[in-house]
Chain A
Amino acid sequence: MAMIDVQDLVRRFGRLEAVRGVSFDVAAGEVFGFLGPNGAGKTTTIDMLCTLLRPTSGSASINGFDVVRGRDDVRRSIGLVFQQPTLDETLTAEQNLRFHAYAYGIPAEARTSRIRDLLTLVGLWDRRTDSVRTFSGGMKRRLEIARGLLHHPSVLFLDEPTLGLDPQTRRRIWDHLGELRADHDLTIFLTTHYMDEAEHCDRIAIIDHGRIVAIDTPARLKDNVGGDLITLTTPDGEMAAAELRRSYDVAPVVTDRTVSFHVPAGEAFLPGLVRAFGQPLDAINLRRPTLDDVFLELTGREIRDGDDRAAAATAGRG
């Protein structure tokens, strides 16, 4: 049975159809990436999965519980780390976790040891009696991850978990997540604007205009873009492009002195090209497609487009 099972999920806001019939499933233990431009329906879908928003139609279940009928069971099955911080800054790290433990009804005998274990895991045990107000962005994030795991969820939702953090902190958080995955048999549902984070995923779904436009492993998504990208630098771009069209059946794009084109297997293609090409070559560049290329091709936008707008939109939604 799938850990997350989504069938024809639809959500309308008045006349606006934000999510238009989305279906997918996520297996237990999978790291699932949910990518899409801002306004594509990402947050709306997550809010429905987290029981914060009722679907207009369709259904979704998590851990076997329906998100509408089994709301509280779903809530117990999921841990959440939102884009915007959701900590009480007046309270200490430990008090924040204690509130969570009470709210989720964690039995008294497990509470203290569980809080200690998780604070130790995210490296905040020494700061447990400090006000969260004194924490850095990275520390707050780590505390939120610890809190999200406190009640032993089956699925951890991470909505832009490292947005606005420096690369070192991001790496540290991913190290933690790696350990957690290994120890807890956790399913992770992730949204991100960072390509390197998307690479951590077992599978990725890309949503655009409220519909899923692609869903596959990162490797296969990249294969589908049309193979490797070769860029040649030559004194006369147009001449080189003409020869490429004539002899190799590719569709080159010329920018001044550079010519780029896709081939299915770049490494095998290049030696033959170098041997037989009639034009002088100044430089050759071979690049594997990245998830950014996949994203660009499917949505027409860069993966990093408009981070700030995403943050502002979420803040306004409450």
Chain B
Amino acid sequence: MTMTEVYRGTWVVAYREVLRFVRERSRIVASITFPLLFLAIFGAGFNNVIGQMAPGVNLVQFMYPGIIAMAVLTSALSAGLSVVTDREAGFLREILVAPLSRTGIVLGKAVGAAAVALLQALLLLVIAPLVGVDLHAGIVVRLVPIVMLLSLVLSGLGIIIGSFMRSQQGFQMVLQILVFPMVFLAGVFYPVDTLPVWMEILSKANPVTYGVDAIRQVFLGSDPAAAGLGVTVFGHTMGLVEEMAMVSVLGVALIAGAAVAFSRQE
């Protein structure tokens, strides 16, 4: 196994993931509609009841970065789904007999999923003016690496699950069990520092929480005094860089796990 083979595996597999996404218009539409529905329904439903989350920040503005993170989460975890569908459709054999390293293939799935997640996040930026969030070049520039990093982590998790699943139904079931708690315990809809203790502990063990908060800090600034910004762990309020460092460490572990899990299959 040489570096060229790892590299070629990564880019050829990633290339196909993006190509597939672009060719399936229904997937693009669905990936945008679902987060928007959440935003519209929850936002409209609770906005007037809850009022301001922080000075100058209403619930919709608070939720909007979380919704982007949610879209990233679903799309990144589907890297695992693509392992399962490739197996079902037989295409996995075409990939496995090619002179590509297994690690390269896993990285390709992850990078491909990250690229697709990024495309979706960027599509969701279009509605920023509608929810009253200021959008400027600085936000986009900082958003890109955060989304990439977060989706790499989650695609690692997706691939680990996908490597063990033999059917799409099985994968979807495990995914449902994982996605809902991960979304609800990630501070998408409410600040995690104000939750009951048991929920707070679970939330802070959830990697998505840090992704959500990092994206939120990009949009709403990083004033630690503002309610709901910054996650406090053991009395320390984490800044953007610390959060991303944590996500990165976890990402390396999960991608390595994914490479091992995927390579198990002969």
Contact = CB atoms under 8 A, between A and B. Distances in A.
A93 to B, nearest CB: 13
B16 interface: yes
Interface stretch (B37-45, B92-100, B154-162): B92-100
A72 B23 contact: no
Main secondary structure of the interface of B (DSSP, over half): helix
Nearest to A83: B90
Given A84-B90, A85-B90, A90-B24, A95 B97 contact: no
Given A53-B266, A86-B91, A105-B8, A91 B98 contact: no
A105 B99 contact: yes
B161 to A, nearest CB: 16
B8 A318 contact: no
B89 A103 contact: no
Interface in B61-110: 87, 89-100
A88 B20 contact: yes
Contact of A88 (B16, B97, B266): B16
A90 B23 contact: yes
Contacts of A78: 97
A89 B100 CA distance: 21
Given A52-B266, A318-B265, A91 B20 contact: yes
Interface residues on A, range: 20 to 34
A263 interface: no
Contacts of A75: 97-99
Interface in B224-266: 265-266
B166 interface: yes
B99 A103 contact: yes
A318 B24 contact: no
A52 B263 CA distance: 11
Contacts of B98: 75, 100, 103-104
A89 B15 CA distance: 16
Contacts of A54: 266
A104 B95 CA distance: 10
B19 A91 contact: yes
Nearest to B93: A86
A174 interface: no
B5 interface: yes
A102 B15 contact: yes
Contacts of B36: none
A82 B24 contact: no
Contacts of B19: 91, 95
Nearest to A144: B94
Nearest to B20: A90
B103 to A, nearest CB: 13
A91 B230 CA distance: 43
B12 interface: yes
Nearest to B12: A102
B265 A102 contact: no
A89 B98 CA distance: 18
10 contacts: A72-B5, A86-B92, A86-B93, A87-B91, A88-B16, A88-B20, A90-B20, A102-B15, A103-B100, A105-B99
Interface of B: 1, 4-5, 8-9, 11-12, 15-16, 19-20, 23-24, 87, 89-100, 166, 265-266
Given A88-B94, A100-B94, 12 more contacts: A52-B97, A54-B266, A80-B93, A84-B93, A85-B89, A87-B90, A87-B91, A99-B15, A103-B8, A103-B9, A104-B98, A318-B87
